A and B are shown apart, each in its own frame.
Chain A
Amino acid sequence: MCCVVGSSDQFEMWAQRCLHEGALAGQKLFRVVSRTHALPAQPAREVTIIDPAGLPFNGSKTLTVENIFAMYRHEAAKAREEGFTGMRVLADMRWTLAFPALLSQLAAFELRLDEVVAELGATVVCVYGESNHARRDLAEVVAVHPLTSGMPAADPGFRIWNLDRGTWEIAGEVDESNVDLFGRALTATLANGPVRRLRCGALRFVSAAGIRALSEVGQAQRSRTMVIQDASPMLRRCWAIFELDENLSQVGLEPAAGVSKEVAG
C-alpha cells in the first residue's frame, strides 16, 4: 500500500493509526526511517526501527534492493518464530532521497517489493511526502500500488500491481496524459522476471498508444507466451486492427469470464 501525505504532522497521525491497526492484528511492527529524519519522541508501542542506510548485509555495507528484501525475509521469519501473526512495515520513504540511483527506479523497486510482500504475506506501507519527492516520481509510485491513501496531487490515472509470480493486474484508464508513465511501469514489471499474465478486467480505457505499450511487453519477451486476461471486446478489436493477433502470436487475449465467443467477436 502507498500513502501520500502533505505534511509531517499528517504523516505521524497516519503512521500511528497504521501501526495501531497492525498491533490489533498481532503483527510485529517496524518503522523504516533514515537516521537523518526525526523519530517520534515517545513511540506509543513497541516498534522496531530500521535505518536502511545502516543495513550491513552480506558484509558489503552496500545498499541494494536485494539487501532490503533479504532483510524483510529475515525479519518476517523471526516475527513468526516470536509468535506474531506476521510483520507490518511502515516505511518513511524519505530515506530514498539519499540514493539517487534508487530514486530513478522507484516504480521498479515498488513492483519488486510487491512480489516480496506477496511471498511473505507481510503488510508494507510506503509513505511518501508531497514536499519531498518530485510530482512525476510520486505519480509513478502511486501507479504501482493497488491501494493509495491520502490525496496524491499527481494521480497517474491507472494502477498496476503484482498478484502472483508473473501475474500483474492493471486498472484505470490509459491515454496520452499517462501513457509514458504506463510504458515505464510495464517495463519495470519485466525487471522482475517474465510477465506471463496481464489481467485487464479493471482497465476501463486504453488508447492506441497504450495498446502499443502493452504490445511492447509481449515483444520484449519474444520467446515466452503471455496472456492478456479479461480483455474487453474493444481492446480485442483494437488489438486485431493493429494486426497484433497475427504479428505477436506469443501474446493471447482472453475475454472476460462470462463473455460468450459471439460477443467476443
Chain B
Amino acid sequence: MTKTVQVPPFQHEALLYDGIGQFVDSIVPFIREGLEAREQVLVVVAPAKIEALQGELGSDAGRVSFADMTSLGRNPARLIPAWRRFIDSRPSLGVIRGVGEPIYPDRSPAELVEAQAHETLLNVAFDATPGLKLWCPYDVGALPPEVVAEARRSHPIVVAPGGGESPSDTYLHEHPSPDRRDQPLPPPPSHAKEFTFASEPGELGIVRGIVWQYAVRAGLSRLGVDSLTVAVNEIATNSQRHGGGRGLLRLWTQDGSVVCEVSDAGLITGSPLLGRTFPPMEQRRGRGLWLVNQLCDLVQIRSGPGGTVIRLHLRGDHD
C-alpha cells in the first residue's frame, strides 16, 4: 500500500510579538513542532535572537540551521535566493519550516522599503512552492504602527503570541507594485558628484575609474571598492544597452555608506523577481543585477515612464 504524503501550500505568516520574551516563547514551540515532524528548519534573525533561541533550544539547536539576518539580509534582495537554496537542498519534497525577520527597528528608511518589498515578493517567489511554512516576526512594541500595518498587507495570515492564527483582512492578494519600483526615492543631495556617460568605447572604463577613485577616498575597504566598481559597471552597462545608450552617474556618501546612482531613459519591464533569481550558466541576461544584489549592501531599483534610477549602497564596514 502506498502512503501519500500531503505537502501543504506555501504559508507566509506574520508573527506579531512584543519584546524578546514573547519572541522566544513563540518561536521555540514553532521550531520544536517542526523538529518533531522531522521538518528542516532555517531561522534567519539577528545574532542576539539566535543566541536566545539556541539557549532555549539546548541540544535541539544543533538540528536547526541559523543565519544572521544582519549579514545575509543586509541587502534584503539576497533573502529570496537564500530561501530558494535552502528549499532546493532538501533531500525530498518534505516540509521546510522557516523563521525570517527582515524588518527590525535598526533598519534605515531606505532598507525598510526594500525589506517590505522582499516580504511582498516572497508571495510571488514561493506561491507555487509547496511545503514552505514561513513565519516573519514583527516586534510591534519597537516598530512604528504603519510598518505593522504593512506587515498585515503582505502576509495572508497573522499569528498572535502563543500561536493563535487568523487571516489578515488587509492582505493584498495582488499587490500593485510588489517590488516597489514605483516608490519615489528621496532626491540626491546637492553635493552629489555628477558625471554623464554614453556608449562610446572606453566610457565604461571612465565610469569605473570615477567610482573606484571616489570609493577609495570615501574609505571603503579594497574589496568594497572593487565590489562597488563591478556593480556600477553592470548598471552602467544596462544603461548603455537598454537605457537609451547613455546615463547619469551620481555619487555621494550617506550615513557611513557610499551611494552610487545611475539613471537613464530606459524602462525596466518583466519579472518583479529580476536580480533575485539565480542565473544558470547558459543564461545570458539577468546576470548583472544578480551580481549587483550579491555585492551591494542595498540596491534600490525605480523604473517608470520617466526612466530608471538604480541606487547602490555600500557601507564603510563592508567586508
Interface residues in A188-247 by Cβ distance below 8 A to B read 205, 207-209, 212, 215, 219, 232-234, 237-238, 241-244, 247
Instruction: Beyond A175-B204, A242-B279, list 12 extra A-B contacts (CB 8 Å).
Output: A157-B202, A175-B237, A176-B240, A176-B241, A205-B205, A205-B208, A208-B288, A232-B226, A233-B222, A233-B226, A234-B223, A241-B290
A209 and B226 contact, CB distance less than 8 A? no
Residue A42 interfacial (CB < 8 Å): no
The residue that B204 contacts in the complex, of A177, A237, A247, with Cβ under 8 A, is A177
| Interface residue A173 (Cβ < 8 Å from any Cβ of B) | yes
A248 contacts the other chain (CB 8 A): yes
Contact across chains for B223 and A233 when beta carbons are under 8 A apart: yes
Most chain-A Cβ atoms within 10 A of its Cβ — which of B240, B241, B291? B291
Which residues from A are CB-within-8-Å of B278? 243
The listed residue (B226, B233, B291) touching A175 by CB distance below 8 A is B233
Are B287 and A212 in contact, with the CB atoms below 8 A?
yes
* CB pair B204 A242 closer than 8 Å: no
Chain A hits for B237, CB < 8 A: 175-176, 207, 209
Q: A209-B287, A234-B223 are in contact. Are A173 and B205 (CB under 8 A)?
A: yes
Choose among B223, B226, B281, B288 the residue with the greatest number of A CB atoms under 10 Å from its CB.
B281
CB distance B281 to A207 under 8 Å?
no
How many residues on B have C-beta within 8 angstroms of the other chain's C-beta atoms?
27
Specify which chain B residues have a CB less than 8 angstroms from the CB of A208 in the assembled complex.
230, 234, 287-288, 291
B227 to A234, Cβ gap below 8 A?
A: yes
Q: Which of B204, B284, B291 contacts A241 (CB 8 A)?
A: B291
Q: How long is the Cα–Cα vector from A248 to B208 in the complex, in angstroms?
A: 29
Q: Which residues of B contact A234 (CB under 8 A)?
A: 223, 226-227, 230
If over half of B's interface residues share one DSSP class (helix, strand or loop), that class is named, otherwise mixed; here it is helix
Please give the distance in Å from A264's CB to the nearest CB on chain B.
11
25 CB contacts below 8 A, A to B, read A173-B205, A173-B208, A175-B233, A176-B204, A176-B240, A176-B241, A177-B202, A177-B204, A205-B208, A205-B229, A207-B233, A207-B288, A208-B288, A212-B284, A232-B226, A233-B222, A237-B223, A237-B227, A237-B295, A238-B291, A241-B290, A241-B294, A242-B279, A242-B281, A265-B223
Give the CA-CA distance A28 to B59 in the complex, in Å.
80
CA distance A212 to B222 in the complex (A): 24
Closest chain B CB from A218 CB (angstroms) = 10
**Residues in chain B near residue A248, CB distance under 8 A:** 281
Residues of chain B contacted by A247 (CB below 8 angstroms) = 281
B279 proximity list for chain A (CB < 8 A): 242
A-B interface pairs (CB < 8 A), number:
69
On chain A, the number of residues with a Cβ less than 8 Å from chain B's Cβ atoms is: 25
Given A207-B237, A234-B227: A157 and B287 within 8 A (CB)? no
Does B305 sit at the interface, judged by CB under 8 A?
A: no
Which residues from A are CB-within-8-Å of B208? Answer: 173, 175, 205
Interface centre among A208, A238, A248, A265, by most B CB within 10 Å? A208
Residues of A within 8 A of B287 (CB): 208-209, 212, 242
A234 to B228, CA, bound (A): 11
Question: In whole angstroms, how far apart are the Cα atoms of A176 and B235 in the complex?
Answer: 11
Task: Scan residues 271-298 of chain B and give those whose CB is less than 8 A from a CB of chain A.
Answer: 278-279, 281, 284, 287-288, 290-291, 294-295
For A244, list chain B residues within 8 Å (CB): 281
CB distance from B261 to the nearest CB of A (A): 20
> What are the residues of chain A within 8 A of B91 when measuring CB–CB?
none
Task: Say whether B164 faces chain A, with CB atoms less than 8 Å apart.
Answer: no
B201 at the interface (CB under 8 A from A): yes
Which residues of A (133-192) have their CB < 8 Å from a CB of B?
157, 173, 175-178
How distant is the Cα of A178 from the Cα of B240 in the complex, in angstroms? 14
- A14 CB to nearest chain B CB (Å): 25
**A20–B229 Cα gap in the complex (Å)?**
46
Chain A residues whose C-beta falls within 8 Å of the C-beta of B230 in the assembled complex = 205, 207-208, 234, 238
